[in-house]
Amino acid sequence: MTTNQSGERQDILDFLAKHRSFLRHTAQGLTDEQANTRSTVSELTVGGLIKHVSTVEQHWAEFAQGNGQSTPGATEYTPEVIAAWQDQFRLVEGETLAGVLAEYEKVAAATDELVRTLDLDAAYELPAAPWQPPGVFWTVRRVFLHITAETAQHAGHADILRESIDGQKTMG
């Protein structure tokens, strides 16, 4: 069996769409207050997870275009850097669930266009990080698979949070 590029690209798009749908479903019908509720012992919130997934997807999409090296990592973990990291997992002043969902839709549409157009075999070196040895390259294909895995993982987290808020489940 021969895999053609358009089939592979469609598979990636379908897989992304499925897990994005699960994530968005967890927010359906929530108020901003509920979307920002810590419903378990975790610091995570449904709205914050959607915001985080959107930010991470955008970062990886930039990497897939060869722009990953221009995003410097924090070299010093100051209280401000830690606070900014924590704020990506919750809605902060002025943010709404509708706003983070709208931003997520824009990011998703941009990523989908990259799935359709980028060379899936192009590879870029991962940025330096304490957990990453130098010289590791990821293909664009792997980046899109990683975005999907991140989305699926966080959709599961959001599902648990949502069930703790009002009993709604994505599946079952």
Instruction: Let me know if residue 67 belongs to a domain.
Output: yes
Q: Is residue 132 part of a domain?
A: yes
Quick: pLDDT tens for 108-131: 999 999 999 999 999 999 988 788
Residue 85 falls within a domain, yes or no? yes
pLDDT of residue 172: 63
Q: What is the DSSP string of the chain?
A: -PPPHHHHHHHHHHHHHHHHHHHHHHHTT--HHHHT---SSSS--HHHHHHHHHHHHHHHHHIIIIIGGGSPPPSS--HHHHHHHHHTTS--TT--HHHHHHHHHHHHHHHHHHHHHS-TT-EEEPPPBTTB-TT-EEEHHHHHHHHHHHHHHHHHHHHHHHHHHHS--S--
What is the model's pLDDT at position 73?
A: 52
| pLDDT of 77 | 80
* Residue ranges in the chain whose pLDDT is less than 70: 1-6, 69-75, 172
Q: Tell me whether residue 171 is in a domain.
A: no
Residue 86: what pLDDT?
86
Domain count, the chain: 1
So what's the pLDDT on residue 69?
A: 56
Taking the C-alpha atoms of residue 22 and residue 152, their distance in angstroms, rounded to an integer, is 8
Gap between the Cα atoms of 75 and 69, Å rounded: 15
For residue 172, tell me if it sits in a domain.
no
Is residue 152 a part of any domain in this protein?
Answer: yes
Q: Is residue 42 part of a domain?
A: yes
Predicted confidence at residue 70, as pLDDT, reads 41
Main-chain dihedrals φ then ψ at residue 37, nearest 5 degrees: -85, 130
Cβ neighbours around 69 below 10 Å, total: 12
> Per the domain annotation, does 133 fall within a domain?
yes
**Range(s) of the domain holding residue 117:** 5-166
The pLDDT of residue 30 is 97
CA distance 158 to 26: 6
| pLDDT given at position 61 | 97
Position 3 scores a pLDDT of: 44
Residues 98, 103, 108, 109: what is their CA dihedral angle, to the nearest 10 degrees?
100
Sign of CA dihedral 68, 71, 72, 77: negative
Specify the pLDDT at position 2.
Answer: 42
Tell me the CATH number at 99.
1.20.120.450
